[in-house]
């Protein structure tokens, strides 16, 4: 997007809204741009700011042209000029006159367009406003060539290309280079008509070179967009992963489990395969927080997460369910195998050197495990595992329970 000159007298949020409207217009999002324009005009009127109103009218003129409404485009451009004149701001007036030149060029009134463009350039040349500078030079390259001054037109195309390249805008450099190619073609056709064959060939060769430059600039922009898209894709993936991961332990979080569990249950049911689920709870964890501090409690949870992850096989999923509760999803494993896996996890938890975190600290865990593929749905399976975990705690904690006692 082409940057605009910052206006210290305008609220930054309003300037940002103007910039957004320009970006939407540049992307041909005309309805969105029109909505932003309406918002700019309403806020600018309420604040008594003329500059944003001028830019809104300039944008309204551009949108009208893209919708093939030149009369509406000229009305908006003329209104922008009237407002700009009232401020005495030369750059605002230049933007408005450039808008009028754009409409005149669009309607074929090239002499009038050239008059406005030549008046705008001395201001644009000294401006730090890239949009104003590039657009004026670019239109001069087109209009000057159209009225028959091909060499001068080519000069302005090169000026526009240089502005775009200096500001790192390869897509605009490609536009200017393509316009320069058009001027070379015009020069070649004129030379050919006058019988100057060598001059015609030279001009057409320059046209080819200009097209190659335009292609190179367009390819550079395509490469730039590809890199931007890759960066956005990586950022989106990283954000998605963060959204599904518990920040304390690094395990999957409850949201991730809620996504995976119903799908895993449906797969197991359709394939007739076992799907075991274990629920682990750190015993007397409240005492750890109360006795040693929440910082120590967090360290315990992190280590529990690491121990669970280290006991996961390929295809298993370890997740923090909430608080001091963890879940281990164990597909394609029968209940006996899952029970053995849970025991291999429980024993290292009990024997781990917890005193290295805090002197006298001891931690154990209770686990309930069941084959939830036998349940009527994933929710019912989770409820069964929760009941088994409760039974493990009822029996004294620090144990794995896979079956509930028979009712009396």
Number of Cβ within a 10 Å radius of residue 108: 11
Could you confirm whether 391 is annotated as catalytic? no
Distance separating alpha carbons of residues 256 and 321, to the nearest angstrom: 10
Residue 325: φ, ψ to 5°: -100, 140
Find out whether 174 and 212 touch, Cβ atoms under 8 Å.
Answer: no
Distance separating alpha carbons of residues 221 and 200, to the nearest angstrom: 31
**Residue 100 in 3-state DSSP?**
helix
Distance separating alpha carbons of residues 64 and 71, to the nearest angstrom: 8
Q: Which residue has the tokens 């090169």?
A: 158
**Residue 353 in 3-state DSSP?**
coil
Q: Find the radius of gyration of the CA atoms of the chain.
A: 35
**Residue 400 in 3-state DSSP?**
strand
Distance separating alpha carbons of residues 403 and 408, to the nearest angstrom: 15
Which residues neighbour 54 within 8 Å (Cβ) at sequence distance 6 or greater? 80, 83, 84, 87, 92, 95, 96
Active-site residue, selected from the candidate residues 259, 324, 325, 376? 324
For CA atoms 240, 243, 249, 252, the dihedral sign is negative
Please report how many Cα atoms fall inside a 13 Å half-sphere around the Cα of residue 243, on the Cβ side. Answer: 8
**Residue 36 in 3-state DSSP?**
helix
Measured in Å, how far apart are the chain's first and last C-alpha atoms?
76
Active centre residues (catalytic): 324
């Amino acid at each position: 997007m082409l940057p605009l000159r910052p206006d210290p007298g305008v609220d930054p949020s309003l300037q940002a809204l103007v910039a957004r409207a320009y970006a939407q217009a540049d992307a041909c999002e005309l309805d969105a741009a029109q909505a932003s324009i309406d918002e700019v005009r309403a806020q600018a009127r309420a604040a008594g700011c003329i500059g944003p109103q001028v830019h809104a009218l300039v944008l309204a003129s551009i949108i009208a042209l893209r919708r093939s409404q030149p009369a509406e485009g000229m009305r908006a451009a003329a209104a922008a000029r009237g407002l700009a004149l009232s401020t005495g701001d030369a750059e605002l007036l230049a933007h408005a006159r450039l808008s009028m030149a754009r409409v005149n060029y669009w309607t074929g009134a090239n002499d009038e367009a050239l008059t406005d463009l030549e008046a705008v350039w001395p201001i644009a040349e000294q401006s730090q406003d890239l949009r104003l500078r590039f657009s004026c030079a670019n239109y001069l390259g087109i209009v000057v060539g159209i009225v028959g001054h091909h060499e001068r037109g080519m000069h302005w195309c090169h000026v526009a290309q240089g502005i775009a390249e200096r500001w790192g805008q390869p897509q605009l450099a490609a536009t200017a280079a393509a316009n320069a190619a058009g001027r070379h073609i015009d020069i070649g056709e004129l030379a050919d008509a006058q019988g100057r064959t060598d001059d015609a060939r030279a001009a057409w060769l320059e046209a080819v070179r200009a097209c190659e430059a335009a292609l190179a600039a367009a390819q550079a922009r395509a490469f730039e967009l590809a890199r931007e898209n890759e960066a956005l894709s990586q950022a989106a993936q990283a954000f998605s992963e963060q959204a599904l991961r518990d920040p304390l332990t690094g395990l999957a979080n409850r949201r991730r489990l809620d996504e995976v569990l119903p799908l895993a249950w449906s797969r197991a049911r359709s394939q007739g395969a076992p799907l075991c689920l274990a629920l682990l709870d750190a015993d007397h964890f409240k005492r750890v927080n109360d006795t040693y501090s929440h910082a120590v409690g967090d360290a315990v949870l992190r280590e529990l997460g690491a121990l669970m992850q280290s006991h996961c096989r390929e295809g298993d999923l370890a997740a923090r369910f909430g608080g001091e509760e963890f879940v281990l999803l164990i597909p394609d494993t029968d209940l006996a195998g899952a029970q053995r896996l849970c025991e291999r996890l429980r024993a290292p938890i009990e024997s781990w050197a917890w005193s290295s975190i805090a002197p006298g600290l001891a931690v154990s865990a209770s686990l309930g495990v069941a084959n939830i593929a036998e349940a009527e749905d994933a929710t019912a399976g989770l409820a069964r595992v929760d009941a088994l975990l409760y039974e493990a705690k009822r029996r004294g904690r620090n144990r794995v329970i896979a079956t509930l006692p028979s009712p009396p």
